[in-house]
Structure 1
Amino acid sequence: MPPNVLIIQADQFRADCLGAAGHPDVRTPALDRLAADGVRFRNAYSTFPVCTPSRYSLLSGLQVRQHGGWTNRCTLAPGIDTFPRALRRAGYRTAAVGKMHFTPTYLDVGYDKLELAEQDGPGRYDDDYHRELAAAGLAPVTDLVDQEWEFRDQAPGSYWETYGSGTSDLPEAWHSTTWIGERARRAVAGWSAKTGELLHVSFVKPHHPFDPPAGWAEAYDPDALTLLPGWTAGIPAADERYRQRYFDYGPLTEPILRRVMAHYYATITQLDHQVGLLLDELRRRGRYDDTLIIFTADHGEYLGFHHLLLKDGPMYDPVIKVPLVIKFPGSRRSGEVNDRLVSMIDVAPTVLTACRAEPENPWPGRDLADPAAGHRYVFAEDRRQERAIMIRSERYKLLWSDAAGKSLFDLVADPYEFTDLAADPAHAEALAELREARARWALHEATPPTYLDPAAPVRAELTDGRAERRDLFATAVARALAPDPA
């Protein structure tokens, strides 16, 4: 019988923030154990350093220039196949829990059942998680202030000084990580032995705000943490144009960065705890060995790299690389570490090959069950503030953008991407090779505009009460931000 499939996805999770990756501080015992049972890919790349475009690439097996989902407000166009749709056609029951970031919120991409916990936009006021919060008289004030511009404009000085880092205002039982983990376990508990099952579990965290709940927020001592390679005391001249993005990164100091790191790591360790409970549920039910399990993220996080935070800037490795761990059914390739260049577009063909299912049209990705699978080049794009493309070969990376022009880095000699070699005659051949690869790739498909259809087919229509929930949450934010009468 084809295997069951469990996709576990995080948001804004640095590829090196795993114990299994040799991180000096962060604790991820559940994910480390998963890596010991499977394959950890050290050079896995996102297609786009933003949530929705990257997620559509994972689902569709296509580059963003092929599926057309250029922003966080976009719809996967009709006629584009996905691995959930292919598995549904093959008789699988398909479900997703957590953050999907679709427009419309419950867009039908192939999941029979959706239990959503969104973070931004209209989805927050439609989804299951915030419906339950509102019914319980709770509001995610910390998250709202960080994510919604109408509230962010009212944020106190402490928010800006700490770069949104702090303890969640929600108790652990109501934190999104706990809510998603609990519903994922319920979904696994309902798996049938008579049909194949697909479950996609997508956590909001460790995406900013870095707000672990009390009990987890104290898990790391900021003063005991190791600053990650690539941190600089100031913003390098080449990156000064990225200083003013979601925050002003110029005033970022080492003590504040350590606080941010402590809370970022705490959200990861809390997430890892929920992953451990989910995998234990699979083991208790005797389903772990025969399940294809994939852990990844949509994009990474600078976390001080070049004095930056979050994801708004050049496609340096910390923000465009993603963790990728695959446990294949049985004990195949246990404990392996793979250095080949792979991409998010490889997830869909890997799933369908394992499940003996077919997409409607051939996909450009590779089946990563093959130890030799990989790419000579991997590509990524970004079309937010400016058009930008990344091309990575085994040794070199080329970054190009409308505003900054071209930069070439030798990742063997300069893994932290400080020295631009684009004008160095000694590296002219490498530059020419990557420029040619970029030209071939860019001409592969006509670049479609952003596709947006708020009326696209959905699996559920849950917009009732949206205005009431928005008003409830706005009142809670206003109350929380009101000056102390004393």
Structure 2
Amino acid sequence: YSWNGLLDADPKTPALAVFSGERRLAPLSEANWRAGESQGYWTAPGLETTLCRNYFFAGDHSQYFPARIDWASPYLEWESLAINSDGEGMTLEVALGTIPEGAEPIEPQEGPATLPFEVIWSATVTVGVSEWTSHQLQARGVEAGAHALRLTAKGTFSTLDKTAQRQFFLRNFRSSGPTEIRARLPRSDPPPEVRYTPRDRVRALFAAPHAPESRPQTSPWAVYDESELLVRPLELEGLVRTALFLPTPGSWEVTTRTESASDLIFYPAFYSSERETWLSGRVIVEVSRENLPGVTWEIDLNPSKDEGSKLWSEGIRLPLVAEGPGSLQLSFRSAPPKERTGSETAKAIPFFLGEPMLVPARDRGSRHPGTARPDILLLSIDTLRADAVSGIGGGETTPWMDDYFGRGGVTFTQAEAPSSWTLPSHASLFLSQYVARHGVRMHFDRVPAETATLAERFADQGYETAAFVDREFLNHRFGFHQGFELYDQRGGHFASILPRCLEWLGKRDRGAPLFLFLHTYDVHDPYDPPEAFRARFLPAGSKPSTEEIERRETQMTTLYGANQGHRELPESDAEFLRALYLAETAYVDSLLADFIHQVETRGLLQDPLVILLSDHGEAFREHGTWLHGWTLYEEETRIPILIRFPGNRHQGRRISARVSLLDIAPTLFEILGWSIPEEWQGESLLPRIEGIENHPSERPLYAELTQSERVLASVWKRRMKYIENRTLEGASPENPRLVNREAYDLETDPGERRNLGGERLEEVSRELEAAANNFAEMTSRQREEGTSAAATLDAETIQGLQAIGYLQTGTGAGKD
């Protein structure tokens, strides 16, 4: 007997076995098989060749990859994940062919460049599922040899205001050869049966003969939606809350304990994700206490879209009459509207119970029982390099920051980011861990659900938590919503975010202190400041070398093409774009000045502790590259960290010690008198702020950047900085090949112009090998504790990521 084809087995642990009835046949070597062994089986496993490890289609374009095909009529396999805000599908054309030698790119009037391509074989698939989905095609008629792979996406986009997106990820795009299995046994024996460990066990289970083949298998409550999670992050009208799913009718009961008079707050929604409509229903809440009669509330919800959004945003607050400590039983029940009771269609009303919580009773008790704990305001200005803040780099770009933080607070002038793009750096901010430790490296990674974020730890300490973010890589699908009671990701930059935040603060009525996180992409490319700020920073008559740099729609792809070597841009373009970038920074400064003024005059925060920082910098051709996520030079990793203490304590302090973004969380914990978790890798900055530690730190600081084919690592130690560049091309991910090493004395050469790597070979090797050992240990611990999961992104998020340059083409990490 013989079989030849694609075996859908786990290549690492196929657990392949061949049975004849209940008898397991013995595996044979190729030599024994050819020698005519009378019984047994022999197999020649199919091999895989990776053609593309990962890629992000943020907009319609074609991307080309070399494709060495070792088998005729190969199988092509990959996984895709869609980020889709409108439910519409996208398409991916997969083509194998050749690119004529010496072919020049074709530059259309609009859109990215293409290459002349002679198609040998092609096929088109639809992409639209917001979970990782496997695809498989057989390229029949394609001979073994050197080819080119062209991937063309259609139907992808992202709006510049970040309100809609339709994009998708690819990963593990590979060609697979067929597996050959041969078995020999007596004709009278039962025919052979091949058994193995499937690559996707759940999918294989659903494909078993007993499963119905007429419709796809989904969750047990497929009548509601496709998710199997009982507790899940749910985004409605741009607001994300962690919610408990209940069918209708359904119920949930919990017993808890209160120490004082309390109110119950929860955020209800009868909502159909499939139809994207608000539904009618009833919520019955029962509260009972030992030795006391119970209280029942029945609430009819028949909301319009506006009313449903208001309930999801502001919630329902119920007073619990009992005083003093004691056990409390809570019951939530969902029921259909009264006019539909008994109707079969009433069963398909999904109910989401968002963020149920007990808070100190209104008008009873002090705001901060026990000790006075300040409100915390954490401001993340994405892409803000340190020298753009005039209190650090000079000039008059940020007068409000210079006054509020420079004269009224603490300025760290030598702060470093752990990566040069948004996703890993923000993960390090909220986890106080290096990238190798938390594992959030690539565009499809997410903060592990089992890892406690900074917001979760504040919530555990009794803080109310809220975030207003500019979506994209701060999308809840990357896990940053964890611990936030309110996670507003409607975006729109600070011009929209700050007014929404002020409105929410004005309605807020809690007895707890607040941990508030605000994030914006305002200074991120495309650089397009308001005209008043543009005129202030851009000299009259200034023009770039090409109008593509001036247009928002083409600016990023033009700079991206320059990074890939497709075009050369002069230094005058760097001056032009730097002026626009500083104008954007000044605009953010003015918005924050107005925001803080209103917060203070209206008493919306109580003597807050305010921290302003960034996740990475931005390059303007200092080392031949633009944007960020391309290198680990200082223009991309040096960031501002500015702190304003309650009561203006420590005002006017300037600290030049080199510190890390990882230090923010431990600093907050020490200020508040909390124990710093052992798994955090940052250290508190409070001793330096208070002048207890003034000596240079001996601890090394690390940064990482993983791109499609490159792995960059750097270490800062005392006055030196070491950078290592490795490639995955022709190597395994576990052992990338060394390309080069660099070393810079930042005290005498802050611009990293003179590479000392060739002069200090022994020192550079010693420091980078020590850093590599530390990275390996961190990665080992991260794998032991659980690998970071892949983010499930909707099309809207993917579109937004492309609009700001994330997940773009080529070998760069893209931009965040």
Query: Common fold, TM-score beyond 0.5?
Result: yes
**The one of 405, 414, 424 aligned to 1:53:** 424
Structure 2 residue 721 is matched with structure 1 residue 397: yes
Alignment partner, residue 535 of structure 2: 218
Task: Note if 1:318 corresponds to 2:635.
Answer: yes
8 Å Cα contact 1:47-1:57 kept in structure 2: yes
* 1:319 Cα deviation after fit: 0.4
**Contact kept in structure 2, 1:47 and 1:379, CA below 8 Å:** yes
Give CA-to-partner distance per residue, 1:233-258, whole Å, 9 cap, x none. xxxxxxxxx99565658532233222
Report the 3-state secondary structure (helix = DSSP H, G, I; strand = E; otherwise coil) of the residue aligned with 2:411: strand
Give the corresponding residue for 2:349.
none
User: Is it true that 1:272 corresponds to 2:589 in the alignment?
Assistant: yes
The CA distance in 1 between the partners of 2:507 and 2:678, in whole Å, is 32
Deviation of residue 19 (structure 1)?
A: 1.5
Correspondence 1:445 to 2:778: yes
Give 1:465-480 correspondences, 5 Å limit. none
d(CA) in 1 for partners of 2:541 and 2:664? 37
> Which secondary structure does the structure 2 equivalent of 1:295 belong to?
strand
Match of 2:390 among 6, 15, 19: 19
Give the direction of change, closer, same or farther, for the CA distance of 1:190–1:105 in structure 2 (3 Å limit). Answer: farther
Select 1:65's aligned residue among 427, 433, 436: 436
Q: Label 1:250 to 1:223 Cα distance change in 2 as closer, same or farther (>3 A).
A: farther
One-letter amino acid of the counterpart of residue 687, structure 2: D
Aligned-partner Cα distance in 2 for 1:245–1:441? 34
Aligned partners of 1:213 and 1:205: how far apart in 2? 11
Residue by residue, what CA displacement relative to the aligned partner does 1:68-121 show, whole Å, maximum 9, x if unpaired? 1112322111221111101101111100112352451675321110111xxxxx
How far apart in 1 are the matches of 2:594 and 2:723? 40
Superposed CA RMSD: 3.1
**Residue 662 of structure 2, aligned match among 340, 345, 349:** 345
Identify which of 395, 404, 423 aligns with 1:33.
404
Contact 1:44–1:341, Cα closer than 8 Å, also in 2: yes
- Taking the aligned partners of 2:583 and 2:699, their CA distance within structure 1 comes to 36
Look up the match of 1:292.
609
Unpaired runs of 5+ in structure 2? 1-371, 543-558, 728-738, 804-816
Matches within 5 A, 1:130-279: 176-192=493-509, 194-222=511-539, 244=561, 248=565, 251-279=568-596
Which residue does the alignment assign to 2:701?
Answer: 378
Structure-2 separation of matches of 1:31 and 1:66: 35
CA distance in 1, matches of 2:640, 2:376: 18
Amino acid at match of 2:516: L
CA gap 1:285/1:357 in 2 versus in 1, 3 angstroms: farther
Q: Which has the higher strand share?
A: 2
Question: Which residue among 467, 477, 498 is the counterpart of 1:96?
Answer: 467
Residue of structure 1 in register with 2:487 after alignment: 114
Could you tell me which amino acid in structure 2 is paired with residue 418 of structure 1? R
In the alignment, the residues of structure 1 paired with residue 512 and residue 606 of structure 2 have an alpha-carbon distance, to the nearest angstrom, of 16
- How far residue 442 of structure 1 moved from its aligned partner, in angstroms, is 1.9
The alpha carbon displacement at 1:388 in A equals 1.1
Shift of 1:435: 2.7
* Paired residue secondary structure (2:768): helix
Task: Provide the rounded CA distance (Å) in 2 between the counterparts of 1:221 and 1:245.
Answer: 23
Report whether the alignment pairs 1:434 with 2:767. Answer: yes
- Separation in structure 2 between the aligned mates of residue 410 and residue 30 of structure 1, nearest angstrom: 30
Partner secondary structure for residue 7 of structure 1: strand
| Aligned-partner Cα distance in 2 for 1:409–1:306 | 14
The amino acid across from 2:671 in the alignment is: A
Following the alignment from structure 1 to structure 2, what is the Cα–Cα distance between the partners of residues 280 and 248?
46
- Give the whole-Å Cα distance in 2 for the aligned partners of 1:430 and 1:283: 52
Indicate yes or no: 2:420 matched with 1:420: no
User: Is 1:366–2:683 an aligned residue pair?
Assistant: yes
Structure 1 pair 322/249, CA: closer, same or farther in 2 (3 Å)? Answer: farther
Match of 1:157 in 2: none
Counterpart AA for 1:393: K
CA distance in 1, matches of 2:462, 2:582: 39
Task: Tell me, yes or no, if the aligned pair for 2:405 and 2:411 is still in contact at 8 Å.
Answer: no
1:24 is displaced (CA, Å) by 3.0
How far did 1:276 drift?
0.9
Give me the whole-angstrom Cα distance separating, in 2, the residues matched to 1:360 and 1:312: 30
Q: Map of 1:294-309 to 2, 5 A cutoff?
A: 294-309=611-626
Report SS of the residue matched to 1:446: helix
CA distance in 2, matches of 1:302, 1:223: 24
**Aligned-partner residue type, residue 110 of structure 1:** G
CA distance in 2, matches of 1:438, 1:445: 11
Contact residue 98 and residue 203 of structure 1 kept, 8 A: yes
Whether the 8 Å CA contact 2:432–2:665 is kept in 1: the answer is yes
Q: 1:124 maps to which residue?
A: none
Do 1:84 and 1:109's aligned partners in 2 also have CA atoms closer than 8 Å? yes
Deviation at 1:383, TM superposition (A): 0.6
Structure 1 residue 31: Cα displacement: 4.8
Asked if the contact 1:88–1:110 (Cα under 8 Å) also holds between the matched residues in 2, the reply is yes
Q: Distance in 2 between matches of 1:250 and 1:25?
A: 33
CA contact (8 A) 1:7 1:200 kept: yes
Q: Does 1:42 align with 2:413?
A: yes
Q: Do the aligned partners of residues 407 and 7 (structure 1) sit closer, same or farther apart at CA in structure 2, a change above 3 Å counting?
A: same
- TM-aligned CA deviation for residue 11 of structure 1: 1.1
Q: 8 Å contact 2:670–2:676 — kept in the other structure?
A: no
Contact 2:663–2:683 at 8 Å: present in 1 too? Answer: yes
Could you tell me which residue of structure 2 aligns to residue 84 of structure 1?
455
> 1 CA distance for matches of 2:387 and 2:588?
16
How far, CA to CA, are the matches of 1:21 and 1:107 in structure 2?
Answer: 29
CA distance in 1, matches of 2:788, 2:438: 9
Question: What's the TM-score, normalizing by structure 1?
Answer: 0.72
Q: TM-score, normalised by structure 2?
A: 0.44
- What letter corresponds to residue 665 of structure 2 in structure 1? A
Q: Can you list the C-alpha shifts for 1:37-83, whole angstroms capped at 9, x where unaligned?
A: 11111111111111111101101111111111112322111221111
Aligned-partner residue type, residue 408 of structure 1: A
Q: How many Å separate the matches in 2 of 1:189 and 1:114?
A: 17
Distance 2:494 2:792 in 1: 29
Tell me: higher relative CO, structure 1 or 2? Use CA pairs within 8 A at least 6 residues apart: 1
Shift in CA distance, 279/62, structure 1 to aligned 2, threshold 3 Å: same
Partner letter of residue 382 of structure 1?
L
Taking the aligned partners of 1:9 and 1:249, their CA distance within structure 2 comes to 33
What's the CA shift for 1:429?
A: 6.2
185-194 or 383-392: which moved more? 185-194
- Equivalent residue, structure 1, for 2:746: 411
- SS for the counterpart of 2:444 is coil
Give the count of matched residue pairs. 389
How far, CA to CA, are the matches of 2:677 and 2:411 in structure 1?
Answer: 29
For the 8 Å contact 2:470–2:521, the answer to whether it is kept is yes
Secondary structure class of the residue paired with 1:194: coil
**Matched-pair contact (CA < 8 Å) for 2:464–2:512:** yes
Query: Which moves more between the two structures, 267-276 or 366-375?
Result: 366-375
